[in-house]
Structure 1
Amino acid sequence: MSPATPEPIVPLGGTRQPLFGLLDRWWAIALACLIALAPLLVVGIAPLTDLYGHLGRHAVQTELAQRPGLQPFFSYEWKLIGNLGGDILVELFHPLFGVEGAVRATVMVTQALGALGIVLVSRAVHGRVTPFALAAIPLLYGFPFNYGFINYTLSMALALLAYAAWLGLRRTGREGLAALWLGVAGAAIWVAHTYGWAFLGLLAGSTMLAEVWTARKHPLRAAGRILAACWPLLIPIVPMVIWRAESSGAAISGWAWQFKLVWLLSALRTYWRDFDMASLAVLAVLLGWALASQAVRFDRATGIAALLCLVFFLALPFRVFGSAFADMRLLPYALALALVAIGAGKPGAKAWLVAGTLALAFFGVRMATTTIAFARQDALVQAALPALERMPKGARVAFFSVKPCRTRWALAPLDHLAGAAMARRDAFVNDQWQQPGVNPLKVRYPAAEPFVRDPSHLVVREDCMETRSRVRLSTALARLPRGAFTHIWIVGEIPKTVTPPPGFVEVPDAGSGRLYAAAR
């Protein structure tokens, strides 16, 4: 990679028209961000694996005082931890939109900020918005987002925006203000999610590494220069140490090559396996062309950041500080940064025109197909939700999502659907996460043990092997404690014949799942 000197910043709405110059206009940037929201505009609550579970937690967070049915079982305690981004936005939006509207607004703001962050980083490092930056936007809808990691995704979006602002301050020579900004922004992003704070440090550190590398500074002087610019990012270290010391969810485990291989193929994993992998191949072709082409000039700092993301993806285990999929989360951002690093070496080159057009087409096609995929996933959700109308308020629901023996490519949108019963029917459900220090929600219902928290709701089909964490549906039903639940709600791959525990009868017209109520 050769260092790239950014072209002069073109004022938004200015008159200079380089190749793809229209992408620099305000209206074009706003249109790109709007297109990035298309998958969320066709659904209500996005059909992400964990999001309905978060909806239940947010109902407790914002409305517990008005929900007596939830009060015996749940509590929410605000505490300074590095995992509160979505919770804070929901708290802000709730007076305007209610709990469900606040969750929807939070997800939309998260993706809009992510798209804007990618575009502004491209503009900061190249002096213009490149078509490859737009091709990076669909990666915001990659595997981590489809799992519903909203706090994480929000923190990464904020890190991109903070990085672009920091670059702007340093370009104008305001080093002191840049350091102050890095400290304030880093602390705020840490509150949203620890990974976003670390990502901002990686971006800023990569920029300083590229700078001292270009200047060929002595290693000791180089280290001092990097530390002098980035030390304000160390501010959250103190609350993080206190937080982790008080938490029991600090496990680091699960490094395995087979997982790495699956995640490598899953950066764009959404709905159709062959199409998602073909899309990944298109990105690989674009990046391969960029590495070999003389029409490309890479931004060194962004390229280093992309490589470091890849290195950390390979080095990290599956679980860090109690957060699962710690390694998988980084891969879409490594690819996004690699695309953003691509800049024009020879303006007007035919190869640049062809590749840039392909990048824009990729952006349009992926956003259109992701919109269709979200609509299909949401149809599964809507088909199961009629069960809520058949439950009384304050029900105690044993919820089970029946999983196939082998994980399917499309993520399961029904796994935490029980959160909707918390939000709409004030019901106790057994799918909430309970890891001290990881989230502020507390669950208490001793009579229902062990069917109280995640993952007690995840079971497998009758033809599957049982494991320590997942048993067959029939086994789970046989183990339900008597009298603890008023209803049983089953979704997913339900067998044709289900034998409920004694005293439970099937409720008709309960949607695509099965609902059973305890006889009076």
Structure 2
Amino acid sequence: MITRKSEATSAQTQADPNRSAGIIIFALLAAASLLPTLLTPIPAMVDYPNHLARMYLLAQNGDPGANPYYEVRWALYPNLGMDLLVPRLAQWVGVESATRLFLLCSQILIVGGALALERVVKGRVQIGGFVALLFVYCLPFSWGFLNFEFGLGVSLWGIAFYLVVIEGTFLTRLVVNAFFVSALFAVHFFSLGIYGAAIGIYELWRAHQRKVPYHVAALRLVLLGLPVALLLLVMRATAGSVGSEGTEWLFQYKPLWLFRIMNGYNLTVSAASVLVLLISLYFAFKRNVLTIEPVGIWLAAGFALLYLLIPSKLLGTSFADLRIIPAAVMIVAAFCSLSLPNRKWRAVVLLVVSGVIIANLATVFAVWLSYRADYAALIASFQKLDRGSRVLVGTSGDGDDPPFKDLTQYPMAYAPTLAVHYANAFVPNVFTEIGKQPIRPRVDMQRLAIPYGGPVPMRLLSAIAAGGTTAAVPSFIQTWHRDFDYLYVLGPAAANPLPDRLQEVDRSARFVLYKIDRRP
């Protein structure tokens, strides 16, 4: 049975005049959190331009003027949330607006799912919405993991619905579980894992508390996994897959991600936010102002163990362990209760939470606004490309990609991929990974494609052009100076590195466009 507060406590809470103030503050913060998405044509997220480029390719598939270098190959892949929804919506509102609406729906699903889960668990909403707003621009979301964000929102709703029917009939649980498993499988496989982990831990706790016999709990867990097993069998039979790259553990980063998670653009803001929240939680638990139910402890421990054990890259999904953090916090928050003794405590809590939300939101808004001119300049530069050209993307930096650089520069990394729409160009680092996206380079272009990777360091391109190649050089750039027509160099402006090979065509604060002399 799901634990609920007594009717007397609920009535007292509803009669509290400060509840109205909390609702108003939450509504204002929620509205403010949606403003960057509503007001920014292209949100300055690392992966967002690449996703937008893929949406253009999907929406134009079959049209007479479709890009000649790419083709669409559908299969039963488990990461197709926006690929399935955005092109259909784009028929009514256009690709750019449809992609932003998908992001907006993802944010609404996250906040709404956190509220719904808390309502089911406690019979009222209290802290879940604020916790969701704390994480609505956390690192995996602000980096543009759009299918995961949408999927996590769906998984929160799925957990809430499962808890509603947990004491219902076998058929009811089967239908609810099968619906959400199928939806999450299609949207994002890792979000399905979050859903399964939360429900599985909850069922194990119920068995441990003798709320259900162990054999019943085992049957329930089999019920949870059965739709997944069936979908995986169908996927294998239809030549589908879950990603295509290997697995990689980066244990040294796990302690650091805890302080990096709150903000995708500024390490100082993120670390300060985490420290403020940890200190606040310490005093709240010490004074018994914040309490957690036993099942919440089980969920927290279970997700903590998953975070430690799961690889950083899992079946081609990067930062898999990092994605567990916001999911775990929002789920566990539903099982926590806040009992504030007086108005002073209420004011302090609202001030702390609002301050952290506003600090992170202001950082996001500032970065996104700073990119409007650069994105506009980049789109204008596409008009200077010959239609149907091949476009390589380089960087004036060293090409290293540690997770603690100046992340305000990252949103430019995939922006040149939009040339596939504006100039019908080929760009090698458009997302075309088998098992994750339905877009493929045509057979004659596959040797030049890199389905997952950022800009190439200019120092490496210069060495190749000078004849200093080695066997370790990726195949798609071994003869770049003869295979590509244009080169975008991202990063701080620098002198032309190859004046005998490159002719400057356009430049902005964050890029330079060169035409390549393709002579032998």
Which bin holds the TM-score, normalised by the shorter protein?
Answer: 0.7 to 0.9
Contact 2:77 2:242 in 1 (8 A): no
Secondary structure of the 1:507 match is: strand
* Displacement of 1:81: 1.4
**How much is the aligned-residue C-alpha RMSD, in angstroms?**
3.4
Stretch moving more, 185-194 or 341-350? 341-350
After the TM superposition, which residues 84-233 of structure 1 pair with which residues of structure 2 at under 5 Å, given as runs?
84-131=80-127, 133-170=129-166, 173=168, 176-215=171-210, 221-222=213-214, 224-225=216-217, 227-228=219-220, 231-233=223-225
Stretch moving more, 505-514 or 306-315? 505-514
> Matched residues in 2 for 1:473 and 1:60: separation?
28
* Displacement of 1:175: 6.2
Find 1:475's aligned residue among 463, 466, 469. Answer: 463
Contact 1:20 1:131 in 2 (8 A): no
Q: Deviations over 1:279-323 (max 9, x none)?
A: 111222233234333222313334433332222111011221222
Instruction: Quickly say closer, same or farther: Cα 1:216–1:510, change in 2 above 3 A.
Output: closer
> Matched residues in 1 for 2:40 and 2:270: separation?
21
The residue identity in structure 1 corresponding to 2:412 is L
* Displacement of 1:229: 6.7
Secondary structure of the 1:54 match is: helix
* Displacement of 1:170: 4.1
Match for residue 428 of structure 2?
430
The residue identity in structure 2 corresponding to 1:260 is K
Q: Does 1:489 align with 2:506?
A: no
> Matched residues in 2 for 1:78 and 1:57: separation?
14
Secondary structure of the 2:312 match is: coil
After the TM superposition, which residues 362-373 of structure 1 pair with which residues of structure 2 at under 5 Å, given as runs?
362-373=356-367
Q: Deviations over 1:170-219 (max 9, x none)?
A: 47x566424421221121111101111111112222332333344466xx
* Displacement of 1:356: 4.7
Secondary structure of the 2:328 match is: helix
> Matched residues in 1 for 2:160 and 2:242: separation?
36
Match for residue 418 of structure 1?
416
The residue identity in structure 2 corresponding to 1:474 is S
Match for residue 46 of structure 1?
43
Instruction: Quickly say closer, same or farther: Cα 1:234–1:409, change in 2 above 3 A.
Output: farther
Instruction: Quickly say closer, same or farther: Cα 1:394–1:197, change in 2 above 3 A.
Output: same
Q: Does 1:64 align with 2:61?
A: yes
* Displacement of 1:390: 1.7
Stretch moving more, 239-248 or 162-171? 239-248
Contact 2:395 2:458 in 1 (8 A): no
Q: Deviations over 1:143-166 (max 9, x none)?
A: 212222111111111000122233
Q: Does 1:337 align with 2:335?
A: no
Secondary structure of the 2:260 match is: coil
The residue identity in structure 1 corresponding to 2:305 is V
Gapped runs of 5+ residues in structure 2?
467-477
> Matched residues in 1 for 2:381 and 2:177: separation?
49
Secondary structure of the 1:429 match is: coil
Structure 1 length-normalised TM: 0.85
Find 1:387's aligned residue among 378, 381, 384. Answer: 381
The residue identity in structure 2 corresponding to 1:120 is A
Secondary structure of the 2:435 match is: coil
Find 1:234's aligned residue among 226, 242, 265. Answer: 226
> Matched residues in 1 for 2:134 and 2:180: separation?
25
* Displacement of 1:74: 0.6
Structure 2 length-normalised TM: 0.85
The residue identity in structure 2 corresponding to 1:439 is Q
Match for residue 465 of structure 1?
none
Contact 2:46 2:413 in 1 (8 A): yes
* Displacement of 1:85: 0.7
The residue identity in structure 2 corresponding to 1:70 is N
The residue identity in structure 2 corresponding to 1:164 is A
Contact 2:113 2:154 in 1 (8 A): yes
How many pairs align? 500
Q: Deviations over 1:338-393 (max 9, x none)?
A: 44432135765864663354224433443333322332344543454432232233
Secondary structure of the 1:278 match is: helix
Match for residue 466 of structure 1?
none
Find 2:274's aligned residue among 272, 280, 284. Answer: 280
Find 2:455's aligned residue among 449, 453, 458. Answer: 458
Instruction: Quickly say closer, same or farther: Cα 1:324–1:22, change in 2 above 3 A.
Output: same
Q: Deviations over 1:243-288 (max 9, x none)?
A: 3675484555221321223322211132222111101112222332
The residue identity in structure 2 corresponding to 1:285 is I
The residue identity in structure 1 corresponding to 2:407 is A
